Amino acid sequence: MTEEIQRKMQKELELLSGIQKEYRKAVAQKQQLDSQLNENKAVKEELSLLKKDAEVYKLIGPVLVKQDPEEANQNVAKRMEYISKEIKRTDDHISALENKQEALQENLTKLKNDINKLKLKA
């Protein structure tokens, strides 16, 4: 009986370890997305400060290519929209992982209590 509970506990611990690894990866991804969003906000701010006749260049590989300021604004806005959607998706994923972790923690606590009860009986 105790061995069966210990096997279940081991499986739960392995699951928890995997979820914690995935959680850390998702948090790192969210931090990267937040950083990208902040960079794009700074670019958008800089573009809004430009005069009407200003020239805008885009770095493509090692080359600077002239770009229409309006097109640059649209590209930055689209990027920010995409990044915001990715942040929301990542937040939802993180939340789901947190719920799974809590459930596994509860199961582990229950299994520990079951083992302790069996030890007391023995």
Answer CATH for 2-121 from 1.10.287.370, 1.10.3210.10, 1.10.8.60, 3.40.50.12280:
1.10.287.370
For the range 1-9, what are the long-range contacts, defined as Cβ-Cβ under 8 Å and sequence gap of 24 or more? 1/118, 2/115, 2/118, 2/119, 5/111, 5/114, 5/115, 5/118, 6/115, 8/111, 9/108, 9/111, 9/112, 9/115
Q: Residues 20-54: pLDDT tens digits? A: 999 999 999 999 999 999 999 999 999 999 988 89
Q: Residues 12-23: pLDDT tens digits? A: 999 999 999 999
Domain assignments of the chain as residue spans, ordered by start:
2-121
In this predicted structure, the answer to whether residue 95 has a pLDDT above a threshold of 90 is yes
Q: Residues 58-91: pLDDT tens digits? A: 999 999 999 999 999 999 999 999 999 999 999 9
